[in-house]
A = this chain, B = another copy of it.
Amino acid sequence: MARGEERRADKRRGANAPEGDARQAGAANLIAVLVAVTPGEQGPAEPMVLAIRGGTTLPSGPFQLRHRSLQAGLRGWVESQTHHPLGYVEQLYTFADADRGADRAGHVVSISYLALTREGPLAGADEPEWRGWYEYFPWEDRRGGGKLVAEAIAPRLAAWAEAGDGAEGDGAARRRRAALLFGLDGMPWHEELALQRYELLWEAGLVAESRQHAAAGPMPGLAMVGDHRRILATAISRLRAKIKYRPVVFELLAPAFTLLDLQRCVEAIAGRAMHKQNFRRLIEQQDLVEETGAMARETGGRPAKLFRFRRAVLEERAVAGTKVGVTRG
């Protein structure tokens, strides 16, 4: 499994550093995936990511000596580039690029972070802006059903598997992997496999960043600079997994919210719709929230109670999450 990951990773970024060079690699880079969720009036919410330079790039900057710690460095850079404060922060993954910056002959170690906030005003030189997750990964949003996968992706993956039949690739293995990751042939869809899906599309030449492209061109979805879209996929996978066993959604919500607000937020992140009544049961039986006493009137229907997150659960319980249930409800 890990070996597979490594193999794929090596395939992805060329291993072209001079052999036998014993100098130590230097230069650390910090990259942030800043996530917020736009409530969305009377409809689904949208998960957003902060990008710069026309949506092509994630905010980042070098780790400097003045920084007390990696996280402090990250906060500093993001706040200077975007004028936006960071809330919850979690390390994602560290990787090494073979000398991307041309001036310094060496690897750059990049340390990526996931950060959760609420949307806010942006400012900065590099045109920071909030972009929807699903502009980059349209196939990851299945709240309206998985049409894109069924209609556009499945056939192209089939073609890719077909192409592997003669070569070393083993078409059957390709088909199994595609079915597993994209929920084909009646297999279930696992939202937290976003990264693996992106990697498969990369291998299949179906994204713009691929080494070699499939004849029919890339899938819909905005590309990003370098590995950035891959890092975003990592963040999505991580957050989708984490939301199930840790109460992190609340970092993305307003202080007071209705249960439907909460559900829409979770659905936005998970990329799929959920059964309303069961969702409520889940939340309530876990004592994650408490009533504020006030009501929300602009629901479009019967007024809903407003809740707030019970911060106490963070220290009360080791494991407590928003066990995301399934269902198309």
A: residues with CB less than 8 A from B are: 1-3, 6, 9-10, 13, 15, 17-28, 62-73, 87-91, 93-96, 98, 105-107, 109, 111, 173, 176-177, 180-181, 190, 193, 196, 246, 248, 314-319
- Taking a contact as CB atoms under 8 Å apart, the answer to whether B109 and A96 are in contact is no
Answer whether A1 and B176 are a contact pair too, CB < 8 Å, given A10-B69, A15-B68, A63-B96: no
- Choose among B18, B66, B105 the residue that contacts A20 (Cβ–Cβ < 8 A): B66
- Choose among B63, B68, B105, B196 the residue that contacts A24 (Cβ–Cβ < 8 A): B63
Instruction: Determine how close the nearest CB of chain B comes to the CB of A110; give it in whole angstroms.
Output: 10
| B residues near A2, Cβ cutoff 8 Å | 88-90
| B residues near A196, Cβ cutoff 8 Å | 318
- Choose among B87, B94, B180 the residue that contacts A111 (Cβ–Cβ < 8 A): B94
Task: Give the CA-CA distance A19 to B27 in the complex, in Å.
Answer: 19
Q: A19-B66, A25-B63 are in contact. List 13 more A-B contacts (CB 8 A).
A: A15-B68, A22-B64, A22-B66, A24-B64, A25-B27, A25-B67, A26-B26, A28-B109, A63-B107, A67-B96, A70-B96, A73-B96, A91-B93
The list of the 3 closest CB pairs from A to B, nearest first, reads A26-B26, A21-B65, A15-B68
- Choose among B17, B22, B88, B109 the residue that contacts A109 (Cβ–Cβ < 8 A): B109
- Choose among B21, B87, B190 the residue that contacts A318 (Cβ–Cβ < 8 A): B190
Task: Give the CA-CA distance A69 to B109 in the complex, in Å.
Answer: 10
- Taking a contact as CB atoms under 8 Å apart, the answer to whether B27 and A317 are in contact is no
Instruction: Determine how close the nearest CB of chain B comes to the CB of A57; give it in whole angstroms.
Output: 19
For this complex, 19 residue pairs linking A to B, each with C-beta atoms less than 8 Å apart, are: A1-B88, A2-B88, A6-B71, A9-B71, A17-B67, A18-B65, A24-B28, A28-B107, A65-B107, A67-B107, A69-B95, A70-B94, A70-B95, A91-B94, A109-B109, A180-B317, A180-B318, A190-B319, A196-B318
| B residues near A25, Cβ cutoff 8 Å | 27-28, 62-65, 67
Task: Give the CA-CA distance A2 to B127 in the complex, in Å.
Answer: 28
Instruction: Determine how close the nearest CB of chain B comes to the CB of A233; give it in whole angstroms.
Output: 15
